[in-house]
Structure 1
């Protein structure tokens, strides 16, 4: 894995790196709280991560045992690419399956500075559909060009699965984990959460839509796919609004 865009003390001094890491920690803690707010958590068993700015190939992930609404910036666990804990704010263990999944993307994709994985019921339901995500809504059509699929292999405890995970996601930013849930990747925490929101919303709509379906024309589908190329940029508008929402509903994450 190559270094992140912030490549070390030759371009940023120690104080700048600490400030950059704290910003990422705060954003990631906010994302955990937002997942809880939207009801997408699965007790303590799913995970979001973000790459730590700097040259050391570390990333942040949740301490194994905290509910998402409890997570704070300082409670996040910093691990290296071998899964060793570098720094912990209390609980110093991480979900082994979480490490397998997140390390795969962080090691294989230089552009993936954040990775989010959930088991929300509607996402698992759609992942188990033979056809996967269908173009039933504008939201789904905005996701189609970003979406790839990965077949279920069991609980992700086998590090060998990392090679297949990164092969299957390729350059996409959304991954349907068959019979399991969904994963998104992004150049930042806000961008990654934006992809997660759209994919979750598309799954929720599909589950609530009974057959027979009213499908749009192929031309409409292709037009919407083309329009979806800037989907991640929506974070510039949506993330500040989400932070305002979170600050009113569940503050205290930035400590």
Structure 2
């Protein structure tokens, strides 16, 4: 028998679609083992509302997030809708990027063991795997200043990101930004794979590194293996089908 979902909350069709995609993303992150108890964050801008974004309810596990219990806040931290508090560390960091980067529709910050290990390595992400080559020259680095709850740190976060779409917080973990949620997701997935491979490779001893001229060719040709729909669209759709088979309650 098909699962009966609750009626959708009152909001625009565009916002409801964004809510469902973001709730799906939380469930996918959890399935992949990227959640961190009730902490860390994924956010998306509300379509058609430049100063509002959606973020997870502080206190819920990722597998408890649904489309309707996501919290809608403005970039000044005011709750526009939702019945849960918001983690200040998530609001401060994400709001600064959403405020100042008009292209940053989706943002995630994770604390996976492998990504935190790479962020704590002096050399950062090294060119020692297929996936790592995707990111060479494409990552900004920001020195650890403590938990990100002070707005004035935002200026330095933005400066260290520059024109890139990944910011590795030293001794902390990555922030991945995307023009769309699927783009952000596939970048986070590839970065996580690169970090997993680096940790495993360095455990064996001295790695073989890829020379810069090969990295340049690799990055030039990546677009030739993309599917229609934009970066990450097919990947994200596939994972949504998987979590639907497991538990479709994220749609509520």
TM-score of the two chains, using structure 1 as the length reference: 0.88
Q: Is the 8 Å Cα contact of residues 142 and 227 (structure 1) preserved in structure 2?
A: no
Q: Is the 8 Å Cα contact of residues 104 and 179 (structure 2) preserved in structure 1?
A: yes
Counterpart for residue 18 of structure 1: 12
Counterpart for residue 242 of structure 1: 239
Q: Where do 1:97-112 residues align within 5 Å?
A: 97-112=89-104
Change beyond 3 A, Cα 1:56–1:223: closer
Q: Is the 8 Å Cα contact of residues 120 and 171 (structure 2) preserved in structure 1?
A: yes
Could you tell me how far 1:113 is from its partner in structure 2? 0.5
What secondary structure, in the 3-state scheme, does the structure 2 residue paired with 1:234 have? coil
Distance in 1 of aligned mates of 2:167 and 2:231: 19
Counterpart for residue 3 of structure 2: none
- Which one of 169, 173, 185 corresponds to residue 181 of structure 1? 173
Gap runs ≥5 in structure 1: 1-16
Q: Is the 8 Å Cα contact of residues 36 and 111 (structure 2) preserved in structure 1?
A: yes
TM-score of the two chains, using structure 2 as the length reference: 0.89
Structure 1 residue 225 and structure 2 residue 222: aligned?
Answer: no
Counterpart for residue 78 of structure 2: 84
Counterpart for residue 160 of structure 2: 168
Change beyond 3 A, Cα 1:229–1:100: farther
Structure 1 residue 152 and structure 2 residue 152: aligned?
Answer: no
Structure 1 residue 31 and structure 2 residue 28: aligned?
Answer: no
Q: Is the 8 Å Cα contact of residues 182 and 231 (structure 2) preserved in structure 1?
A: no
The farther-off stretch of 234-243 and 179-188 is: 234-243
Give me the CA root mean square deviation.
1.7
Partner deviation per Cα, 1:29-86 (whole Å, 9 max, x = no partner): 0110111001011111100000011245100000100000110010100011111111
Q: Is the 8 Å Cα contact of residues 127 and 210 (structure 2) preserved in structure 1?
A: yes
